[in-house]
């Protein structure tokens, strides 16, 4: 499970010029994508720990049977934040490949757990958390743009 961050323009003419600028500054591009990807990872983590799902709203509440379990009794927060021992969200990382920034899970077990939470597979209800909402995209683009301008020394 991975989120890819691509910087694209809406028109072919602007997109081709944008790509030529990016190709002239590969180091600035990599650093800018890395910074935007790191912010994307942080946004997902913070939003999830607050109990907010992708696109707004709160996660579906825990079942009554889970509330009676020992696992729930060990839990520090009693609201739905997808954190029991912290392994899943701490396994989230980012990398840059070519002209794409990716947010992904380092361990397969945590990736599977995230998939089940996100899609509601099995007994779990659907609790979408892994992704970047439209309202968050602007923040990522601004970080990319600011870092790229600084790294490439473009004003």
68-84: pLDDT as tens digits: 999 888 888 889 999 98
Token representation of residue 65: 């049977």
Lowest-confidence range among 10-14, 132-136, 147-151? 10-14
What share of the chain in percent tops pLDDT 90? 60
- Give the range of the structural domain holding residue 53, as residue numbers without chain letter: 2-152
Give the whole-angstrom CA distance, residue 86 versus residue 73.
15
Each residue of 40-55: pLDDT tens digit? Answer: 999 999 999 999 999 8
Q: What are the φ/ψ torsions at residue 100 (nearest 5 degrees)?
A: -130, 135
What total of structural domains would you count in the chain?
1
CB atoms within 10 A of CB 152: 17
Model-level pTM? 0.84
Instruction: For residue 79, give every residue at least 6 positions away whose Cβ sits within 8 Å of its Cβ, in sequence order, or none.
Output: 51, 58
């Amino acid at each position: 499970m991975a989120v890819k961050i691509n910087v694209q323009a809406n028109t072919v003419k602007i997109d081709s010029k944008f790509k030529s600028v990016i190709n002239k500054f590969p180091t600035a591009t990599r650093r800018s994508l890395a910074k935007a990807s790191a912010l994307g990872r942080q946004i997902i983590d913070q939003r999830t720990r607050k109990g907010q799902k992708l696109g707004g709203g709160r996660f579906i509440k825990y079942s009554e049977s889970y509330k009676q379990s020992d696992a729930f009794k060990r839990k520090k927060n009693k609201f739905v934040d997808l954190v029991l021992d912290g392994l899943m969200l701490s396994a989230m990382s980012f990398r840059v490949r070519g002209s794409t920034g990716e947010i992904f899970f380092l361990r397969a077990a945590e990736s599977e757990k995230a998939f089940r939470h996100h899609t509601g597979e099995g007994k779990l209800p659907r609790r979408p958390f892994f992704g970047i909402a439209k309202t968050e995209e602007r923040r990522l683009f601004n970080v990319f743009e600011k870092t790229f301008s600084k790294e490439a020394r473009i004003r």
